Structure 1
Amino acid sequence: MSNEDSRYEAVRSRDARFDGAFFFAVSTTGIYCRPSCPATTPRRRNVTFFPTSAAAQGSGFRACRRCRPDAVPGSAEWNARADVVGRAMRLIGEGVVDREGVSGLAARLGYSARQVQRQLNAELGAGPVALARAQRAHTARVLLQTTGLPAADIAFAAGFASVRQFNDTIKEIYALTPSELRAARPGRTTRYGPVAPSVTAGTLPLRLAFRGPYAARPLFDHLQRRALTGIEEVSGEPGARTYRRTLRLPHGAGIAEVDEVTGDGWLNCRLRLTELRDLTTASQRVRRLFDLDADPYAVAERLGRDPVLAPLVERCPGLRAPGTPDPHELAVRAVLGQQVSVAAGRTLGGALVAARGEPLPEPSGALTHLFPRPEDLSQAPLTELGMPESRREALRTLGAALADGTVTLDAGADRDRTEQALLALRGVGPWTAAYIRMRALGDPDVLLSGDAAVRAGMRRAGIPADALAAHAHDWRPWRSYAMHHFWNTPATDPATDRPSTTEGTGS
């Protein structure tokens, strides 16, 4: 969508591929929508385009009640971009502005608050406060329409500083008071799915939107093979499984449940939180784990140009690259899984959770612990792990580096700098650093060229090992997805436990 004429054509055709990539507003109605809005297409002269919902709101437009533009998937651009704007958008999505203010966001990015404000305004038409405000409003709408919580509780849970600010924002964005917005909860199925019914027992149901096809089965297979006892479990039969796990959040603990069966453009998720203030952060972390902001159309277009990869892309449309809800946990598990099988990495991880994990205040079925904090590992002997002392020392070194900030793995970390910091740690090699970059930092353009399982998948697909470089150049910026296609090519013996060059195939 390089110009406004092509964007208008997307609106005319109600093309859902661009939901979240841009928004359009109609001057005659004062409403802004997603590109696929089913309403009558407005005349071109009455349409204005915006890169974010916050920019549309800042120009005085209110959200369409029919297409609910605030509920679209995030733009895949923010995952692909490594510049300050991309990093800022990932941090704002994580709720950093609500918790630490604009100064905290700027400090994490290594820029002044004025520089961050200027760059976001110039490119997105809205600054960090406006972007965070739009996110708070969406969180508040979800709580108003899916729970029976008092409006005052919802205001603070969504991140508003006062009930008055909450009331004014909701009225401005939705043209309804909070009570009217709650009463307007849709009671029928729409093109974008019904809002979940009211809930009890502290469970918040969410419909996590994604775009395009979604290959749920390979992702659930990946999670099931690596589920650590105490913090994760997968129940049910393939095709109808539920993944559950514990979450360590800024204000407390949480439990997320996600169903394998997909709706028409969403995954069903349920959250149990000790602190409602963690709703935004929890939902964003689940979105990253399930790679819900990916653009499968862009990935398929690029990878499908390769005659060898094209059959793999066609065989598994919408294949995702799993992320993580806890970058520190992912890094520790990557080191644990070095040079061992998937099963062995899982056993080591389970032993670590049992010995060093933090017990939940109240267990939930098989979920009993939170994964250990980095600082809890930095001085621990770790003798309960059946592994060489050199690898136990590598875990302690990593834990110390994560605890003191030598290595930063937050959503807005500079990927190049972080990979170099990881490589400087004794016991962390190139494969592990690159794997952490891919999953913990969400980089869609990582290729583990030395990975044994990748090379095996390439051979099965018909790419000689010495031809990798020639092919890989054309896969940018989606090499992580190419790698997952190779990992998912059928093995000669599906029962064989692939050597884990690790977490990636492994822990």
Structure 2
Amino acid sequence: MNTPTTDDLRYQAVSSRDARFDGTFFFAVATTGIYCRPSCPAVTPKRRNVRFYPSAAAAQGAGFRACRRCRPDAVPGSAEWNLRADLVGRAMRLIGDGVVDREGVQGLADRLGYSTRQVHRQLTEELGAGPVALARAQRAHTARVLLQTTDLPVTETAFAAGFASVRQFNDTIRAVYAQTPTALRGAPRRAGDAAPPGGIPLRLAHRGPYAAREVFGFLGRRAVPGAEEMTGVPGARTYRRTLRLPYGTGIAEVREPHRAAAGWLACRLHLTDLRDLAAAVQRVRRLFDLDADPDAVAERLGADPVLRPLVAARPGLRSPGAADADELALRAVLGQQVSVAAATRLGARLVAAHGTPLAAPDGTLTHLFPEPAALADAEFDGMPEARRDTLRTVAAALADGTVRLDPGADRDDTGRRLLALRGVGPWTAGYIRMRALGDPDVFLPGDAGARRALTALGARPGAEDAWRPWRSYALHHLWNLWNKDS
């Protein structure tokens, strides 16, 4: 699937209520003053009354308020931001993680290595809004979720959502939703939106089909006891894990959907500080690869005769990312030249010996995964000396900033820095790049499972070159040849 490039093509997508384009652009109606997602179920407005915008923030900046029926602020993020490695793509990933709210525009620019003026100019040119407006749109969405799913007082909601003042919060809610916060809280909820005790219930939207069985199987086989768990049976599983967040800690629960066509995953977040809501949501979205464009992936990979039957057998297969990039990097070292089960056992020992205990255990969840600084000089049992040295080396590089794995990291530069570390080879660097940095175009030619699958399929040498820019997804298709019990 390609994003429509002209307004006439965009209007065709709106007329057909094509959900594939939700999040890739927004449309506003001049006669009503509202903006919507392309799949909005309302009567299609006349073409002359429609305006198109590349972001929700741009529509809000033009004076339009969010549609109460289709909730355009709750759509999946554009898959383009994960694919792109340029300034705008990196900036959007960092804004989604809440960097502007925590560190300001200067902090965003420093992380990207550009001036604030350059960052503002490029974002405005492409998205019709600068970093402050984009962060404001995200804060408004976070506030709506808190208002409609918790009983938190309005004043506390304002600061939990990231607003600097109650006045700013009130003005933003009125501008975006044309309602006061109190009225927005009292708006009728959809079925399933009620907030039973314990945590914040969310629907995390995705576009297209979602191969939940395979994704939950992938995460379940790699769940590290103490920090992660998978309960239930295939088709009715719940994945749970601890989260280290900017202001506190949390536990995320994600349920395997009963129906593949639901269009969302049910999630519940338990947070010690509600200011972490937006960051926690983004980390779960990255872990489950919810902003992917499965149609674009299938179009490219399905055109190859080697992968065509695999793509047809598993529509919507995702490339899971990471809820904590530093954790993923350390776990990649544990997985060097050992089985998944052996790496998981090593991870469990690491968590028990060096992890941060939760204030109170929650089921089998007892610890946060160890921070890099805690492992840079730690003693490790049960692994070869070379791997112990590599683990300390990688932990030290993460702790001192030699290697940074935040959402806006330059993937090529990070790959080079990883390979420069003693004990880190192409497989480890590639696996970290694929999962910790969410790179959709990584292939691991030295991976034993991939080699075995390519041989079984009779693929010619270099076949993976035709799978760009979605080689990470191709790799998961190959791996799934040997995991039929997902």
TM range (shorter): over 0.9
How far does the alpha carbon of each residue in 1:79-126 deviate from its partner, in whole angstroms, 9 at most, with x for none? 000000000000000000000000000000000111100110011100
* Matched letter for residue 205 of structure 2: A
* Matched letter for residue 198 of structure 1: A
Residue pair 2:297, 2:470 contacting (<8 A) in 1 also: yes
- Once the two structures are superposed, the pairs formed by residues 194-273 of structure 1 within 5 Å of their partners are 194=192, 196-201=193-198, 203-261=199-257, 264-273=262-271
Establish whether residue 443 from structure 1 lines up as the match of residue 451 from structure 2: no
Give unmatched runs, 5+ long, in structure 2.
none
Separation in 2 of the partners of 1:128 and 1:21? 18
Separation in 2 of the partners of 1:462 and 1:199? 53
Separation in 2 of the partners of 1:11 and 1:316? 28
Q: Counterpart of 1:325 in 2: which secondary structure?
A: coil
Q: Could you tell me which residue of structure 2 aligns to residue 458 of structure 1?
A: 454
Q: Could you tell me which residue of structure 2 aligns to residue 60 of structure 1?
A: 63
How far does the alpha carbon of each residue in 1:372-430 deviate from its partner, in whole angstroms, 9 at most, with x for none? 00000111122x2x112121111111111001100010000000000000000001001
Residue pair 1:23, 1:51 contacting (<8 A) in 2 also: yes
Residue pair 2:227, 2:366 contacting (<8 A) in 1 also: yes
Separation in 1 of the partners of 2:251 and 2:188? 26
Q: Could you tell me which residue of structure 2 aligns to residue 22 of structure 1?
A: 25
Larger mean CA deviation between 366-375 and 390-399 belongs to 390-399
Separation in 2 of the partners of 1:215 and 1:349? 26
Q: Could you tell me which residue of structure 2 aligns to residue 501 of structure 1?
A: none
- The alpha carbon displacement at 1:304 in A equals 1.0
Q: What fraction of aligned residue pairs are identical, expressed as a percent?
A: 70
Q: Could you tell me which residue of structure 2 aligns to residue 9 of structure 1?
A: 12
Give unmatched runs, 5+ long, in structure 1.
496-504
- The alpha carbon displacement at 1:489 in A equals 1.4
- The alpha carbon displacement at 1:43 in A equals 1.2
- Once the two structures are superposed, the pairs formed by residues 6-405 of structure 1 within 5 Å of their partners are 6-186=9-189, 188-189=190-191, 194=192, 196-201=193-198, 203-261=199-257, 264-382=262-380, 384=381, 386-405=382-401
What TM-score do you get using the length of structure 1 for normalisation? 0.93
Residue pair 1:390, 1:427 contacting (<8 A) in 2 also: yes
Separation in 2 of the partners of 1:11 and 1:348? 51
Larger mean CA deviation between 401-410 and 176-185 belongs to 176-185
What TM-score do you get using the length of structure 2 for normalisation? 0.97
Q: Counterpart of 1:211 in 2: which secondary structure?
A: coil
Residue pair 2:235, 2:258 contacting (<8 A) in 1 also: no
- The alpha carbon displacement at 1:200 in A equals 2.4
- The alpha carbon displacement at 1:185 in A equals 3.0
Residue pair 1:256, 1:269 contacting (<8 A) in 2 also: yes
Separation in 1 of the partners of 2:273 and 2:196? 16
Residue pair 1:34, 1:67 contacting (<8 A) in 2 also: yes
Residue pair 1:148, 1:199 contacting (<8 A) in 2 also: no
* Matched letter for residue 110 of structure 2: A
Residue pair 1:145, 1:185 contacting (<8 A) in 2 also: no
How far does the alpha carbon of each residue in 1:461-483 deviate from its partner, in whole angstroms, 9 at most, with x for none? 331xxx241x3222111111011
Separation in 2 of the partners of 1:198 and 1:153? 18
Q: Counterpart of 2:402 in 1: which secondary structure?
A: coil
Separation in 1 of the partners of 2:395 and 2:348? 17
Q: How many residues align?
A: 481
Residue pair 2:23, 2:78 contacting (<8 A) in 1 also: yes
- The alpha carbon displacement at 1:262 in A equals 5.1
- Alignment root-mean-square deviation, CA: 1.3
Q: 2:466 aligns with which of 469, 474, 477?
A: 474
Residue pair 2:158, 2:169 contacting (<8 A) in 1 also: yes
Residue pair 1:147, 1:204 contacting (<8 A) in 2 also: yes
Separation in 2 of the partners of 1:262 and 1:168? 40
Q: Could you tell me which residue of structure 1 aligns to residue 478 of structure 2?
A: 486
Separation in 2 of the partners of 1:236 and 1:371? 23
Residue pair 1:457, 1:488 contacting (<8 A) in 2 also: no
Q: Counterpart of 2:257 in 1: which secondary structure?
A: strand
- The alpha carbon displacement at 1:296 in A equals 0.4
* Matched letter for residue 476 of structure 2: H
Q: Could you tell me which residue of structure 2 aligns to residue 502 of structure 1?
A: none
Separation in 2 of the partners of 1:39 and 1:214? 26
Separation in 2 of the partners of 1:403 and 1:197? 41
Separation in 1 of the partners of 2:358 and 2:94? 27
Separation in 2 of the partners of 1:290 and 1:131? 23
